[in-house]
Structure 1
Amino acid sequence: MESPELDLATCEYDVQRKQSAEQRRARLLGALALEEARLNDLARQLRIEEEDVERLEGMSLAAFVATLRGIKDERLKAERAEYVAAKLRYDECAAALEALRTQVADVGREVDGLRGAETRYEAALAAREQQVLASGSAVREQVMDVARRIGVERARIHELDEAANAANETIQALKAVHESLGSAASWGAWDTWGGGGLISTSIKHDHIDKARRSAGVARQRLQRLNIELADVGLAGGGLDVQMGDFLSFADYFLDGFWADLAVQNRIEGAQARVLDTGKQVVALRTRLREDQHRATRQIEQLEDERRTLIRTASVETT
């Protein structure tokens, strides 16, 4: 049977986890509200772009006049491109919103699983108080304090592990973006300087589209990472990421009127930003793992201190 002081440490650990989960849920709900508002705005913009396309495709007076002037096809091409861009932004936001809802549900289950943690902690605390009472108040307070500190460190290790895992997922997502951009850059160079033609242009834009989808996933991972960092008291963690780069990523490559060289420059610029962000996240993951190791060593020292206090209390109560 576990000793009462270890039970107390476990109960403190559960209390810390529950409080942390409740705080994380509050932050997620805040992010969810912002994302829902953004989705509503994008939905309105999408309807506007769709109406513009339908108006030009229909046989309205404006479309007839535009046709006579020989500009309908160009205008329709531009309107369709704007509609596609709006649709991509809307789909990306909807995916991010769904990911947030999943996280809220997951945290809700964690909170439910820790229901009654405070009550169990109080019961363990009362039991321990009775057992060490004969050792004198000084020993009692020391044992309780060590147990509390063990629980705090265990909870911190748990949160650091979640943050490090979020960093791993972010790194993988950024790698996917960078690889797709690298492929697009290679085909773009052939398209620009080698006269690649229709086939190389098609392949280049296929890689660009893959990079856009990967960037949407990377944005979700970065969003989760920022929330996990707040859980361990590292809000931002020194991570200098312009989320707007990922929010507007699709815009960079959807304008069919750009020259190939301009597109190539944008691809290379996006590569540099993604690479820099990846380096920051790798450094942050290293810092999180180092903090985990320090917390583990701290627990080992506290366990030694706890055992020493218990031996001392036992001798005094003999």
Structure 2
Amino acid sequence: MFTEINERLVEIRGDLRKKEKYELQLADYYKEAELLDERLSELRIQFKAEKVDVEKLEGFSLTNLFATLSGSKHDKLSKEKQDLLAAQHKLEEAAKSKMEIEEAIQKLKQKLFHLKNTEYEYQQLLLQKETLIKASSLSYANDVFELSEKEGNLKAYIAELEEAKIAGERVKHSLKQAITSLENAENWGALDMFGGGTISGFVKHQHIDQAEKDLHEAQTRMRQFQKELLDVKEAVQVEVNISEMLKFADFFFDGFITDYMVQGKITESLKQTREHYEKVNQILIKLSNQIDQKESELKNIQLEKNEMIISL
């Protein structure tokens, strides 16, 4: 009975920490979803306005007539259509992010449902523990139980650190892929600007499309990484600017107007992506150091507990 309660205490402390973490993550997701709803409303208004501008130039109107007579209709229509596509693109990206957040919220709710009785079970274990200690003639029984609690807390915390590290490694991988795609786009873009022809332009835009996919995946994984860091960032001493980390690629999603601007956006996006890659890498180093430190503490506690049990 003594050993069983000890083992279950270790497990239940892990479940309690998970429950706390999931509740923290859920609250943060709700906050993020609320901000994203506001952004979606703004983007829908912007999209409708851009659509009206295109329709004005395409239809018969006084503005259309003046633009045609001045010879600027084609340029204006081309610019308005590009603005419309850019607005549509940003709207689609935001809608995709909202859907991902809603899916994450549902998954967290399911996880919390499975842990709904955890606190009750923990209180029952504490009562059993108290009863056993009072009935026991073993002088160190309470000390062993306390060490088991510390062991459970440390194991759960190490698990959280490792989960955060895995999430960070996924971000790092996506950013690395984005860097490769952007480097390829930059190289083909330079060739295209110096008269590379249709093929270089086609290949450049292929790499741009791939870079967009990579950057969206990086943003999605950054969101998951940020949630994993919520309850460990103070101990790891990292400041995670979620707005910066989640919005750094928005510049790249704004759409392209001329070849010169395409090249400029590629270069700037590549610079920002490399910077975020390094930031994530630095956080991962701190996480690894923290894991090593906590595993050393856990080893000492387990050793102390085992020696105490042997002496009982």
TM-score (norm 2): 0.89
For the Cα contact (< 8 Å) 1:229–1:236, is it kept in 2? no
Identity %: 27
Structure 1 window deviating more from structure 2 (278-287 vs 85-94): it is 278-287
CA displacement, residues 249-270 of structure 1 (integer Å, 9 cap, x when unaligned): 122x5112x53xx543442332
Structure 1 window deviating more from structure 2 (70-79 vs 218-227): it is 218-227
Q: Which residue of 2 aligns with 1:161?
A: 162
Q: Which residue of 1 aligns with 2:253?
A: 250
Aligned AA (2:24): Q
For the Cα contact (< 8 Å) 1:159–1:228, is it kept in 2? yes
Q: Which residue of 2 aligns with 1:219?
A: 219
Measure, in 2, the Cα distance between the counterparts of 1:19 and 1:64: 64
Q: Which residue of 2 aligns with 1:209?
A: 209
Q: Which residue of 1 aligns with 2:300?
A: 301
- Aligned-pair distance for 1:137? 9.8
Structure 1 window deviating more from structure 2 (75-84 vs 142-151): it is 142-151
Q: Which residue of 2 aligns with 1:93?
A: 94
Q: Residues 14, 222 of structure 1: CA spacing in aligned structure 2 closer, same or farther, 3 A cutoff?
A: same
For the Cα contact (< 8 Å) 2:25–2:227, is it kept in 1? yes
Aligned AA (2:279): Q
Q: Residues 123, 242 of structure 1: CA spacing in aligned structure 2 closer, same or farther, 3 A cutoff?
A: closer
Structure 1 window deviating more from structure 2 (1-10 vs 44-53): it is 1-10
Measure, in 1, the Cα distance between the counterparts of 2:303 and 2:125: 21
Q: Residues 138, 265 of structure 1: CA spacing in aligned structure 2 closer, same or farther, 3 A cutoff?
A: farther
Aligned AA (1:306): K
CA displacement, residues 239-298 of structure 1 (integer Å, 9 cap, x when unaligned): 5755443122122x5112x53xx5434423322221221122123223223322332332
CA displacement, residues 209-247 of structure 1 (integer Å, 9 cap, x when unaligned): 322232222222222222211121348824575544312
- Aligned-pair distance for 1:185? 1.2
Structure 1 window deviating more from structure 2 (116-125 vs 209-218): it is 209-218
Q: Residues 79, 141 of structure 1: CA spacing in aligned structure 2 closer, same or farther, 3 A cutoff?
A: same
Structure 2 regions of 5+ residues with no counterpart?
A: none
Q: Which residue of 1 aligns with 2:192?
A: 191
Measure, in 1, the Cα distance between the counterparts of 2:245 and 2:167: 18
- Aligned-pair distance for 1:111? 0.9
- Aligned-pair distance for 1:119? 1.0
CA-based RMSD: 2.4
Aligned AA (1:249): F
Structure 1 window deviating more from structure 2 (154-163 vs 237-246): it is 237-246
Q: Which residue of 2 aligns with 1:230?
A: 230
Measure, in 2, the Cα distance between the counterparts of 1:124 and 1:65: 82
Q: Residues 305, 42 of structure 1: CA spacing in aligned structure 2 closer, same or farther, 3 A cutoff?
A: same
CA displacement, residues 27-53 of structure 1 (integer Å, 9 cap, x when unaligned): 111111111211121111111111111
1:172-187 equivalences under 5 Å are 172-187=173-188
Structure 1 residue ranges, 4+ long, deviating more than 4 angstroms after superposition: 134-138, 238-243
- Aligned-pair distance for 1:90? 0.9
Aligned AA (2:8): D
Structure 1 window deviating more from structure 2 (232-241 vs 169-178): it is 232-241
Structure 1 regions of 5+ residues with no counterpart?
A: none
What's the secondary structure of 2:230's corresponding residue?
helix
Measure, in 2, the Cα distance between the counterparts of 1:298 and 1:242: 32
* 1:121 matched to 2:119: no
CA displacement, residues 165-199 of structure 1 (integer Å, 9 cap, x when unaligned): 21121112112211111111111121223x21233
Aligned AA (1:245): F
Aligned AA (2:248): D
Measure, in 1, the Cα distance between the counterparts of 2:138 and 2:33: 48
Aligned AA (1:48): A
Aligned AA (1:39): L
For the Cα contact (< 8 Å) 1:11–1:124, is it kept in 2? no
For the Cα contact (< 8 Å) 1:166–1:225, is it kept in 2? yes
Measure, in 1, the Cα distance between the counterparts of 2:267 and 2:150: 50
